[in-house]
Amino acid sequence: MKLAYFAPAAAIAVLAATTAQAADPVMGDWLTAGGGAKVRVAPCPSDGTRACGTITWMKNPKDKAGGPQKDTNNPDPGLRARSVLGLQLIRDFKPAGPGKWAGGKIYDPGSGKTYGSKLSAMPNGALKVEGCVGPICQAQTWTR
């Protein structure tokens, strides 16, 4: 009998967490610094409690031969043939306060490197994206 009461309460808790995360100002579509791509930040498909981001648009989606831009700088040779469009650029961010996410990784397809990262919603509606190597971080501002 107690299980019957638990199931609706659990469903309500999951729905409330999902709704709160969807309202988070970090979630949504962002134009990267320089305007070369758009990234959609949303709950990770594998774990709805973390945030991930996927490239949904590119200013120059084609390579010099007219094919799709490939992830040619990836350190894993098996991933170099994948398209950059649709690539998961950011992953595994955990909530770190209102409008703040931390503990995630950001991948730079231009260099093939992955960095520790933080995401913060700014008062002006922009998104501060920081990539870090140890204690040294470099920030970019992304816009809606």
CATH of the domain at 15: 2.40.128.520
Instruction: Report the pLDDT value the prediction gives residue 108, as an integer from 0 to 100.
Output: 95
Instruction: Report the pLDDT value the prediction gives residue 13, as an integer from 0 to 100.
Output: 36
Which tokens belong to 142?
């992304």
Contact, 18 vs 48, CB < 8 A? yes
The half-sphere exposure of 126 on its side-chain side, counting CA atoms within 13 A, is 12
Place of tokens 């945030």: 51
Total structural domains within the chain: 1
Instruction: Report the pLDDT value the prediction gives residue 20, as an integer from 0 to 100.
Output: 42
* Domain extent at residue 71: 2-142
Which stretches of the chain drop beneath a pLDDT of 50? 1-21
Instruction: Report the pLDDT value the prediction gives residue 18, as an integer from 0 to 100.
Output: 41
Instruction: Report the pLDDT value the prediction gives residue 43, as an integer from 0 to 100.
Output: 96
CB 17: neighbour CB atoms within 10 A? 14
